[in-house]
């Protein structure tokens, strides 16, 4: 089961998911710190989701991006164990939550390998993000 964690409960869940989120953050450009993510989840600017079994198996963080023409549900971070076993549940949850908040797409940026993991559930590679540090 995947639990949506309310802002006031983030602190209690954090020790169970922080390692998964930190691992995912290592693949970004440093645009968020783990403290930023925690704060945004507590203030409800972002949403924390936890895959729960006998213990926390993984976690992901979403944010609703409101653009002038449409809303998107953005997956900011995703980390955990055995994602292939809970991928479909996460996808169903993202679709339902996105629809509830008038989002037209689920958006995520990730490494090339995500294309293989998500292709059969109708995620299409639209773009790849390339970045260079300005020195």
Encode the chain (135 residues) as per-residue pLDDT tens digits: 999 999 999 999 999 999 999 999 998 889 999 999 999 999 999 999 999 988 999 999 999 999 999 999 999 999 999 999 999 999 999 999 999 999 999 999 887 778 888 889 988 888 777 777 778
Whole-number pLDDT of residue 24: 93
Whole-number pLDDT of residue 22: 97
Q: Which residues of 79-98 are buried (b: 16+ CB within 10 A; e: fewer)?
A: bbeebeebeeebeebbeebb
Whole-number pLDDT of residue 15: 97
Residue the block writes with tokens 């922080």 = 18
Whole-number pLDDT of residue 116: 83
Whole-number pLDDT of residue 47: 98
Whole-number pLDDT of residue 130: 74
What φ, ψ does residue 31 adopt, rounded to 5°?
A: -70, -20
């Amino acid at each position: 089961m995947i639990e949506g964690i309310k802002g006031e409960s983030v602190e209690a869940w954090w020790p169970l998911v922080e390692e998964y989120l930190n691992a995912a953050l290592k693949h970004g450009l440093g645009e968020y710190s783990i403290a930023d993510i925690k704060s945004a989840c507590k203030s409800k600017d972002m949403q924390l989701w936890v895959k729960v079994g006998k213990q926390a198996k993984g976690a992901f963080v979403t944010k609703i991006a409101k653009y002038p023409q449409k809303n998107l549900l953005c997956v900011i971070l995703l980390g955990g164990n055995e994602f292939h076993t809970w991928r479909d549940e996460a996808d169903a949850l993202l679709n339902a939550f996105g629809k509830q908040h008038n989002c037209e797409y689920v958006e995520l940026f990730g490494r090339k390998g995500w294309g293989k993991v998500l292709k059969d559930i109708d995620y299409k590679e639209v773009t790849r993000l390339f970045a260079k540090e300005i020195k």
